[in-house]
């Protein structure tokens, strides 16, 4: 009896094991079939926790997609573009980390060899690189009938690189290189087979002479103001945006005899690289209102931005490109101010890093908008010499004693002799309380502007003062939370919290 029971047990065990093995095989085949039909997620291949366009997004312009054989399908072109950009991103990461991971997903066997050799050399020399590409301009050469191979030229690729040895920064370089590219469709992905350098193509893009003389002439005559609404300071385009309030304020500004306003766009508030089109609509409403009131608008981009790292350049470029292209034809637009007081980031972010980012942004904006001048809002006259050869006019801020103003201005003027100088921010707080030992008042604010406005008028210096209103609330991001720093920020306006015009209002009015 025991022997029979053992046989039954073993037979049952064998049957169960057989069924389990077959179930696993069937499950594995099903999983493999699903994978082959859906394709792996590109984001997971790159181990990115966010979409690629939030990490690396250079401009990609297909100049021509004509093909003598099989027409290029829109879906195929999108896949080729995405995988080509992914390949560049993987290569940038590989040279930064000296890591081969991910290369095989976007390069064929033969194309990997050179990359692996370069990584080995870099490791040996203790070198690593921060790299990015900024723009690509491609023309299709050939697309096979079976849709498995594509050949194209990528002209005038703007590449930027910082070279390091261990923790030591060595140098930066920017280059423009063109490539002949061959990509093969393997396992559902387009992989680079060849990336060969070729001569650059001159005049790939239509270059138009920039017509900004009339804008520069207006800038030289600017008499204006830095503007925020009374109830939403540092949040012009937020939930409290009301076109009637904007129009009411612009009427006041116009009646003061002023002709220019400066407004601010915050990088995160406008959606970073994914620009919020509702915010763009509000910006256009503001410009429309300014036009009705005969006011010119200087737009300051990238307020409260402070990264500048090469890895994020393509994201900030897409942010700026979207805004610039959307507003560049508006009649009220006077010009572009790239960044508010970027020199204050020199110590924390590195002077070279900040200047490199600014310099490239100048190039980009002048390409996207050839008809409006570009400037940078430096925090002091001394900083105004930075990139003065790159901007169209030099802007600086001044919050020191008025008695030394002309000396500082003239010193900058003696160095920057070929560009207009604009006093883009200046002012005096009327806060008179415990946190400044009762050392200020509306009377002292009046005296400050009395001296400043005479100097500005006598020397014909264009200006934009700070600001129209006193503010009840000031964000901690502006001046921190220490009361001796924040309290004065509430009282720079020429109209007080109750809506009454201060004594200084009449001084600031223009004839």
What is the rounded average pLDDT for all residues in the chain?
89
Could you tell me if 489 and 478 are in contact, meaning their C-beta atoms sit under 8 angstroms apart? Answer: yes
pLDDT-derived band at 479, boundaries 50, 70, 90: confident
What is the number of other CB atoms lying within 10 angstroms of the CB of residue 286?
24
Among the ranges given (40-44, 257-261, 342-346, 458-462), the one the predictor scored with the smallest mean pLDDT: 40-44
Q: Name the 3-class secondary structure at 6.
A: helix
Tell me what pLDDT residue 298 has: 98
Report how far residue 328's alpha carbon sits from residue 366's, in angstroms, rounded to the nearest whole number. Answer: 11
pLDDT in tens, 393-434: 999 999 999 999 999 999 999 999 999 999 999 999 999 888
Contacts of 272 (CB under 8 A, 6+ apart): 54, 315, 319
pLDDT at 349 over 90: yes
Give the best-scoring range by mean pLDDT among 43-52, 199-208, 249-258: 249-258
Contacts of 374 (CB under 8 A, 6+ apart): 335, 336, 337, 338, 362, 365, 366, 391, 392
Tell me what pLDDT residue 33 has: 45
Report the helix count and the strand count for the chain, using DSSP H and E. 16, 13
Report how far residue 297's alpha carbon sits from residue 337's, in angstroms, rounded to the nearest whole number. Answer: 10
Tell me what pLDDT residue 47 has: 52
Supply the pTM of this predicted model: 0.83
Q: Determine the distance from the C-alpha atom of residue 316 to the mean position of all C-alpha atoms in its chain, rounded to a whole number.
A: 2
Peptide bond into 162 cis (omega under 30): no
Burial class (CB in 10 A: 0-12, 13-18, 19+), 472: exposed
pLDDT at 209 over 80: no
pLDDT at 186 over 80: yes
Tokens 């040895």 label which residue?
Answer: 165
Give the best-scoring range by mean pLDDT among 49-58, 69-78, 192-201, 251-260: 251-260
Adjacent-strand bridge partners of 333: 297
DSSP letters for 266-324? ETTTTTTTS--HHHHHHHHHHHHHHHHTT-EEEEEEEET-----GGGHHHHHHHHHHHH
Mean predicted confidence (pLDDT) in 161-168 = 93
Residues belonging to the chain: 511
Report how far residue 511's alpha carbon sits from residue 390's, in angstroms, rounded to the nearest whole number. Answer: 34
Mean predicted confidence (pLDDT) in 340-354 = 96
pLDDT-derived band at 10, boundaries 50, 70, 90: low
DSSP letters for 392-423? SSEEEEE-S-GGGHHHHHHHHHHH--SS-EEE
Q: What is the DSSP letter of 391?
A: S
Report how far residue 198's alpha carbon sits from residue 205's, in angstroms, rounded to the nearest whole number. Answer: 17
Give the C-alpha distances (Å, rounded to integers) separating 246 from 263, 470, 496: 12, 16, 17
Select the more confidently predicted residue: 438 or 245: 245
Could you tell me if 213 and 248 are in contact, meaning their C-beta atoms sit under 8 angstroms apart? Answer: no
pLDDT-derived band at 482, boundaries 50, 70, 90: confident
pLDDT-derived band at 202, boundaries 50, 70, 90: low
Mean predicted confidence (pLDDT) in 167-176 = 91
Mean predicted confidence (pLDDT) in 288-314 = 96
Mean predicted confidence (pLDDT) in 470-489 = 87
Contacts of 10 (CB under 8 A, 6+ apart): none
The end-to-end CA distance of the chain, in Å, is 120
Could you tell me if 311 and 265 are in contact, meaning their C-beta atoms sit under 8 angstroms apart? Answer: no
Residue 99, both tokens:
């890591």
Report which of 138, 146, 150, 136 is spatially closest to residue 67, judged by C-alpha positions.
Answer: 150
pLDDT in tens, 112-135: 998 999 999 999 999 999 999 999
Report which of 445, 439, 453, 423 is spatially closest to residue 493, judged by C-alpha positions.
Answer: 445
Residue 22, both tokens:
């077959």
Report how far residue 358's alpha carbon sits from residue 317's, in angstroms, rounded to the nearest whole number. Answer: 11
Mean predicted confidence (pLDDT) in 464-487 = 89
Could you tell me if 86 and 26 are in contact, meaning their C-beta atoms sit under 8 angstroms apart? Answer: no
pLDDT at 54 over 90: no
Report how far residue 270's alpha carbon sits from residue 344's, in angstroms, rounded to the nearest whole number. Answer: 22
pLDDT in tens, 378-397: 999 999 999 999 999 999 99
Q: Which helix or strand (DSSP H or E) is residue 95 part of?
A: helix 74-97
Rg value, the chain, Cα: 30
As a dihedral over the C-alpha atoms of residue 140, residue 145, residue 146, residue 148, rounded to 10 degrees, the angle is -20
- Angle of CA points 164, 161, 321, to nearest 5°: 140
Mean predicted confidence (pLDDT) in 358-368 = 95
Tell me what pLDDT residue 354 has: 97
pLDDT in tens, 92-111: 999 999 998 889 999 999 89
Give the C-alpha distances (Å, rounded to integers) separating 316 from 1, 267, 301, 323: 82, 8, 10, 11
Tell me what pLDDT residue 28 has: 56
Residue 11, both tokens:
């037979």
Residue 470, both tokens:
């006193």
Residue 221, both tokens:
């005559």
Select the more confidently predicted residue: 162 or 21: 162
pLDDT > 70 fraction of the chain, expressed in percent and rounded: 88
Report how far residue 157's alpha carbon sits from residue 264's, in angstroms, rounded to the nearest whole number. Answer: 31
Report how far residue 239's alpha carbon sits from residue 146's, in angstroms, rounded to the nearest whole number. Answer: 53
């Amino acid at each position: 009896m025991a022997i029979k029971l053992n046989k039954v047990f073993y037979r049952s065990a064998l049957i169960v094991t057989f069924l389990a093995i077959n179930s696993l095989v069937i499950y594995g085949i099903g999983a493999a079939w699903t994978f082959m039909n859906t394709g792996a997620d590109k984001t997971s291949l790159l181990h990115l926790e966010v979409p690629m366009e939030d990490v690396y997004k250079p401009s990609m312009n297909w100049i021509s997609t004509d093909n003598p054989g099989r027409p290029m399908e829109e879906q195929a072109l999108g896949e080729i573009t995405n995988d080509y950009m992914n390949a560049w991103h993987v290569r940038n990461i590989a040279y930064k980390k000296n890591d081969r991971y991910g290369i095989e997903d976007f390069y064929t066997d033969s194309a990997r060899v050179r990359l692996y050799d370069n990584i080995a050399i870099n490791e040996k020399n203790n070198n690593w690189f921060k790299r990015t590409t900024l723009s690509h301009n491609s023309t299709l050469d050939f697309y096979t009938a079976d849709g498995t191979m594509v050949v194209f030229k990528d002209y005038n690729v703007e590449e930027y690189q910082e070279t390091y040895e261990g923790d030591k920064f060595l140098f930066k370089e920017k280059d423009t290189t063109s490539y002949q590219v061959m990509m093969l469709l393997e396992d559902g992905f387009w992989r680079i087979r060849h990336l060969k350098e070729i001569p650059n193509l001159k005049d790939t893009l239509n270059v138009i002479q920039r017509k900004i003389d009339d804008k520069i002439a207006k800038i030289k005559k600017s008499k204006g103001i830095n503007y925020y609404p009374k109830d939403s300071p540092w949040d012009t385009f937020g939930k409290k945006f009301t076109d009637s309030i904007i129009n009411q304020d612009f009427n006041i500004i116009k009646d003061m005899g002023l002709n220019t306003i400066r407004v601010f766009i915050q990088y995160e508030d406008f959606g970073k690289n994914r620009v919020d089109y509702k915010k763009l609509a509000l910006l256009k409403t503001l410009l429309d209102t300014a036009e009705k009131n005969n006011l010119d608008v200087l737009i300051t981009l990238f307020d409260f931005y402070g990264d500048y790292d090469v890895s994020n350049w393509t994201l900030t470029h897409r942010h700026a490109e979207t805004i610039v292209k959307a507003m560049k034809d508006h009649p009220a637009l006077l010009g572009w101010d790239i960044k508010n007081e970027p020199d204050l980031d020199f110590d924390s972010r590195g002077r070279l890093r900040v200047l490199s980012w600014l310099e490239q942004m100048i190039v980009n904006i002048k390409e996207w908008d050839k008809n409006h001048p570009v400037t940078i809002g430096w925090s002091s006259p001394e900083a105004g010499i930075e990139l003065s050869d790159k901007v169209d006019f030099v802007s600086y801020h001044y919050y020191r004693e008025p008695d030394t103003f002309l000396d500082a201005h003239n010193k900058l003027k003696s160095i920057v002799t070929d560009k207009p100088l604009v006093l883009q921010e200046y002012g005096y707080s009327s806060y008179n309380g415990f946190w400044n030992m009762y050392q200020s008042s509306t009377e002292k604010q009046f005296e400050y502007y009395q001296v400043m406005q005479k100097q500005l008028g006598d020397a014909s210096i264009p200006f934009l003062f700070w600001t129209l209103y006193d503010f009840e609330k000031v964000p901690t991001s502006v001046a921190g939370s220490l009361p001796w720093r924040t309290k004065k920020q509430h009282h720079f306006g020429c109209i007080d919290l109750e809506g009454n015009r201060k004594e200084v209002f009449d001084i600031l009015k223009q004839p």
